């Protein structure tokens, strides 16, 4: 779907489908709800966004500047001019965007001449006719301010020689730094030269013959094999493409020249980029497939096994959000080095996208050897990684497929190792799993689940249900937890753990979490308008949401937009998420606390908390995980519950017990001093209509039979 929509974006229509397909897979897809903003004052704007669907408005100081429709692009590298850089972009409809980062953008300009020409034309068109002022050398200050700074940046940053030619005099209106450097001229000197002074085998007749089909719209660009002469008299061959930049009595042309020697070097660099990961220097997926083909040929002759091992760093996204980009890349390099260090010379370590690595273990005589290697790999990645002054601990999971049992070609083997990896993650992370044909069905289910989740957001299939919490001493109602439910139009109710797990994997949890937050705030406001008192409504935040830099702004925006007092909203975060993001986490928590929100740690006791950090966090309550409550009679569990309650009391925090299902559990928790409880014994999870009736009835603790 993304690929089809990307084909309709004007700027990208010149690109072949293979390039568009790769771009759609590499770039992140964003979903904006009506009213949601993308960036505000001071945003670095170091990204281009392609609008695949929907409509947005650009605001500056509450004044509408322009609108952006489906098929257009915007961002630092597109249409936000320098005077609008601190604008706000707001979605008017449900909007789908493709986020293109600067490295991805620059790769397109380097490897696709057509894209560069298309970009230059787009930016010159958006300069509102003032490209002619550029050709005149900025003679008017007012005109200079109107010239697209992005057009100049594309010219100046291009890895190719680029010239703008005024056909009235055949002089250079502008030459970019690379062209000046290659020719040995400065700006003033080049402005006094004509194109025929520089390209010695070009004259006016040849130029007119080249440009005529451009003026008549018969060709989009014309090519010419040129001989460039430098200031010192030396020459070099080049390949030149001419394109009409602005039609007029004397048109402006842009010429892009590539030094053939430089092109050879560039092609070598591109080949390196095509087969090696730029971060780690390891082979990438393309090269690993080639090597796997070679290994298969050798294995056939020697009658040996090949193991294809998919290695995933389970907590890498969480870790990378807490590190600066340099340290995140350094961690990937160090992981690659450790993997190379524990394998043989004939084996291959490749880095795929994100947090995944691919290993090819060649020429194994039996599966027992591969099992031992899998255990060795897990052990190799266990010790702490030291990055500067920081120590980082990672968790890894492996999926393994074997040749010839699990596939006869690289595509099948890699696909099946991925299926084994998914199964390993579902069972218990930090382990390995061999491929089983049944995994294909599970993999297909994952793909179907992702498709259905995206449709569920579009079709508004999600519902928000609520479970009341009670004061265990007085029996009075003390708030509620909001819980998302999904009613599929064909499959009915989808198990919550199943779809939340899938949403976490593919990051759809971010737009889903945004929907939960918005819906909860709107429901609180609705109850208040009815004269009811919801006390406080807890909303769960995922790790992906909490790690985003715009979290605080998003939460504040939803609260302000709904018109509720922040004290009615409580945010729940798991212990693991907080402990993996201690520095940034404390900062975000303080901002949310200062705004007036209540904060609690969910599933407390299942992770590993540092008391030093815990005492500095502006937390209001600890939620005791239901696994301890269910088996409270086990001595270790009862001891943990008592320790959590004692810790909370000493820190001045409330405790909330989850999953209260029996009278004995309730009695134990009450006797131990737990403040609040929720669970089926006290009240089931209620749809919004039933929760409204519950509030209207003057709620108090009544056991359910």
Judged on CB neighbours under 10 Å (0-12, 13-18, 19+), 377 is buried
pLDDT for residue 80 is more than 60? no
pLDDT for residue 188 is more than 90? no
If asked whether residues 189 and 262 sit together in one domain, one would say yes
pTM of the model as a whole: 0.48
pLDDT for residue 350 is more than 90? yes
Residue 616: band (very low, low, confident or very high) from pLDDT cuts 50, 70, 90: confident
If asked whether residues 353 and 475 sit together in one domain, one would say no
Least confident span in 18-22, 120-124, 431-435, 491-495? 120-124
If asked whether residues 251 and 365 sit together in one domain, one would say no
pLDDT, position 391: 82
Least confident span in 104-118, 210-224, 309-323, 525-539? 104-118
281-295 average pLDDT score: 88
Strand pairing partners for 357?
A: 311, 351
252, 275, 298 — which closes off a domain?
Answer: 275
111, 134, 169 — which closes off a domain?
Answer: 111
> Does residue 370 lie within any of the structural domains?
yes
User: Does residue 119 contact residue 126 with C-beta atoms inside 8 Å?
Assistant: no
CA atoms of 4 and 12, how far apart (whole Å): 12
Range of 190-194, 536-540, 649-653, 695-699 with top mean pLDDT: 536-540
Question: DSSP secondary-structure letter at 276?
Answer: B
pLDDT, position 110: 57
Residue 30: band (very low, low, confident or very high) from pLDDT cuts 50, 70, 90: confident
Residue 122: band (very low, low, confident or very high) from pLDDT cuts 50, 70, 90: low
Report the residue count for the chain: 705
If asked whether residues 271 and 332 sit together in one domain, one would say no
647-663 average pLDDT score: 92
Q: What does each C-alpha distance from 186 to 161, 170, 178, 199, 256 come to in angstroms?
A: 14, 18, 11, 17, 18
The phi-psi region of residue 142 (left if phi > 0; otherwise alpha if psi is between -120 and 50; otherwise beta) is alpha
pLDDT, position 141: 38
> Does residue 487 lie within any of the structural domains?
yes
The phi-psi region of residue 128 (left if phi > 0; otherwise alpha if psi is between -120 and 50; otherwise beta) is left
pLDDT for residue 309 is more than 90? yes
Strand pairing partners for 398?
A: 311, 432
CATH label of the domain that carries residue 432 = 3.30.70.270
Least confident span in 8-12, 520-524, 639-643, 698-702? 698-702
CA atoms of 167 and 207, how far apart (whole Å): 10
If asked whether residues 467 and 404 sit together in one domain, one would say no
CA atoms of 8 and 572, how far apart (whole Å): 41
* Domain carrying residue 105: 1-111
275, 302, 318 — which closes off a domain?
Answer: 275
Higher pLDDT: 442 or 491? It is 491
Three-class SS state of 518: helix
If asked whether residues 180 and 295 sit together in one domain, one would say no
Q: Which two tokens stand for residue 82?
A: 């320098």
CATH label of the domain that carries residue 234 = 3.30.450.20
Strand-strand pairing, 252-259 and 161-166: antiparallel
If asked whether residues 198 and 232 sit together in one domain, one would say yes
pLDDT for residue 291 is more than 80? yes
Helix H, strand E, coil C: the string for 370-395 is HHHHHHHHHHHCCCCEEECCEEECCC
CA atoms of 20 and 7, how far apart (whole Å): 7
Three-class SS state of 705: coil
153 φ, ψ to 5°? -65, -40
Q: Which two tokens stand for residue 360?
A: 């090819």
pLDDT, position 512: 93
If asked whether residues 408 and 314 sit together in one domain, one would say yes
pLDDT tens, 51-76? Answer: 888 888 887 766 777 788 888 887 65
What percent of the chain is predicted at pLDDT more than 70?
81
**Contacts of 608-615 spanning 24+ positions with Cβ under 8 A:** 608/575, 608/579, 609/575, 609/578, 609/579, 610/579, 610/582, 611/647, 613/578, 613/579, 613/582, 613/586, 614/651, 615/651
pLDDT, position 148: 47
> Does residue 548 lie within any of the structural domains?
yes
What does 182-199 look like in DSSP terms, one character per residue? Answer: HHT--HHHHHT-BHHHHB
If asked whether residues 307 and 323 sit together in one domain, one would say yes
User: Does residue 342 contact residue 402 with C-beta atoms inside 8 Å?
Assistant: no
pLDDT tens, 421-449? Answer: 888 887 777 889 898 876 655 666 667 78
Higher pLDDT: 691 or 46? It is 691
If asked whether residues 508 and 610 sit together in one domain, one would say yes
If asked whether residues 234 and 314 sit together in one domain, one would say no
CATH label of the domain that carries residue 525 = 3.20.20.450
Helix H, strand E, coil C: the string for 37-95 is ECCCCCCCCCEEEEEEECEEEEEECCEEEEEEECCCEEECCCCCCHHHCCCEEEECCCE
**CA-based nearest residue to 456, from 498, 422, 495, 485:** 485
If asked whether residues 240 and 284 sit together in one domain, one would say no
> Does residue 141 lie within any of the structural domains?
no
> Does residue 139 lie within any of the structural domains?
no
Three-class SS state of 477: strand
Higher pLDDT: 130 or 180? It is 180
> Does residue 126 lie within any of the structural domains?
no
Three-class SS state of 688: helix
Residue 151: band (very low, low, confident or very high) from pLDDT cuts 50, 70, 90: low
CA atoms of 348 and 165, how far apart (whole Å): 51
CATH label of the domain that carries residue 101 = 2.60.120.10
Least confident span in 116-120, 271-275, 353-357? 116-120
The phi-psi region of residue 475 (left if phi > 0; otherwise alpha if psi is between -120 and 50; otherwise beta) is left
pLDDT for residue 637 is more than 70? yes
User: Does residue 399 contact residue 420 with C-beta atoms inside 8 Å?
Assistant: yes
Least confident span in 86-90, 423-427, 599-603, 687-691? 86-90
Domain count, the chain: 4
């Amino acid at each position: 779907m993304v690929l089809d929509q990307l084909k309709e974006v004007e700027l990208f229509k010149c690109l072949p489908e293979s390039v568009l397909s790769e771009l759609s897979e590499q770039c992140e897809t964003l979903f904006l709800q009506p009213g949601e903003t993308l960036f505000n004052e001071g945003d670095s704007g170091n990204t281009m966004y392609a609008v695949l669907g929907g409509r947005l408005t650009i605001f500056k100081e509450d004044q509408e500047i322009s609108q952006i429709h489906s098929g257009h692009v915007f961002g630092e590298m597109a249409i936000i001019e320098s005077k609008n850089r601190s604008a706000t972009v707001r979605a008017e409809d449900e909007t789908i965007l493709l986020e293109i980062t600067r490295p991805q953008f620059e790769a397109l300009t380097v490897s696709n001449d057509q894209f560069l020409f298309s970009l230059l034309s787009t930016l010159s068109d958006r300069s509102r006719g003032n490209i002619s002022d550029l050709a005149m050398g900025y003679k008017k200050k007012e005109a200079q301010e109107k010239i697209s700074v992005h057009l100049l940046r594309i010219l100046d940053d291009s890895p190719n020689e680029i010239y703008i030619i005024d056909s009235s005099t055949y002089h250079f209106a502008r030459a970019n730094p690379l062209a000046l450097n290659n020719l040995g001229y400065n700006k003033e000197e080049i402005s006094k030269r004509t194109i025929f002074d520089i390209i010695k085998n070009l004259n006016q007749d040849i130029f007119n013959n080249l440009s005529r089909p451009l003026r008549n719209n018969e060709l989009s660009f014309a090519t010419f094999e040129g001989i460039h002469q430098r200031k010192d008299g030396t020459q070099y061959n080049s390949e030149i493409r001419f394109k009409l930049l602005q039609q007029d009595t004397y048109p402006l042309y842009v010429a892009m020249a590539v030094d053939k020697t430089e092109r050879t070097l560039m092609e070598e660099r591109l080949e390196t980029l095509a087969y090696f990961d730029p971060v780690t220097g390891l082979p990438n997926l393309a090269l690993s497939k080639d090597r796997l083909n070679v290994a298969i040929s050798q294995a056939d002759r020697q009658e040996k096994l090949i193991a294809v091992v998919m290695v995933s760093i389970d907590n890498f996204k969480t870790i990378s959000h807490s590190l600066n980009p340099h340290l995140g890349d350094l961690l990937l390099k160090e992981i690659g080095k450790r993997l190379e260090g524990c394998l043989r010379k004939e084996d291959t370590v490749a880095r795929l996208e994100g947090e995944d690595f691919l290993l090819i273990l060649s020429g194994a005589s039996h599966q027992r050897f591969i099992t031992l290697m899998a255990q060795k790999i897990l052990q190799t990645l266990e010790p702490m990684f030291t990055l500067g002054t920081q120590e980082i601990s990672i968790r890894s999971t492996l999926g393994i497929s074997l040749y010839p049992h699990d596939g006869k070609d690289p595509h099948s083997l890699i696909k099946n190792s991925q299926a084994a990896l998914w199964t390993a993650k579902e069972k218990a992370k930090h382990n390995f799993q061999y491929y089983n044909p049944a995994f294909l069905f599970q993999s297909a289910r994952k793909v179907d689940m992702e498709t259905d989740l995206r449709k569920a957001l579009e079709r508004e299939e999600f519902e928000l249900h609520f479970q009341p919490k009670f004061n265990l001493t007085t029996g009075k109602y003390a708030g509620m937890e909001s819980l998302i439910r999904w009613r599929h139009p064909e499959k009915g109710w989808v198990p919550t753990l199943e779809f939340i797990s899938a949403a976490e994997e593919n990051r759809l949890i971010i737009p889903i979490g945004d929907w939960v937050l918005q819906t909860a705030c709107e429901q609180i406001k609705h109850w208040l308008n009815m004269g009811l008192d919801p006390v406080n409504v807890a909303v769960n935040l995922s790790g992906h949401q909490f790690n985003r830099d715009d979290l605080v702004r998003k939460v504040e925006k939803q609260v302000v937009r709904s018109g509720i007092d922040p004290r009615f909203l409580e945010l729940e975060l798991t212990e693991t998420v907080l402990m993996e993001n201690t520095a940034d986490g404390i900062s975000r928590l303080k901002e949310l606390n200062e705004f007036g929100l209540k904060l609690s740690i969910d599933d407390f006791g299942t992770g590993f908390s540092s008391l030093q950090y815990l005492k500095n966090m502006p937390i209001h309550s600890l939620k005791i995980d239901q696994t301890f409550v269910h088996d409270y009679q086990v001595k270790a569990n009862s001891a943990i519950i008592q320790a959590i309650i004692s810790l909370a009391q000493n820190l001045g925090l409330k405790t909330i017990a989850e999953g209260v299902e029996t009278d004995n559990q309730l009695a134990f928790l009450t006797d131990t001093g737990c403040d609040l409880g929720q669970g089926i014994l006290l009240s089931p999870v209620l749809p919004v209509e039933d929760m409204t009736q519950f509030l209207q009835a003057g709620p108090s603790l009544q056991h359910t039979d």
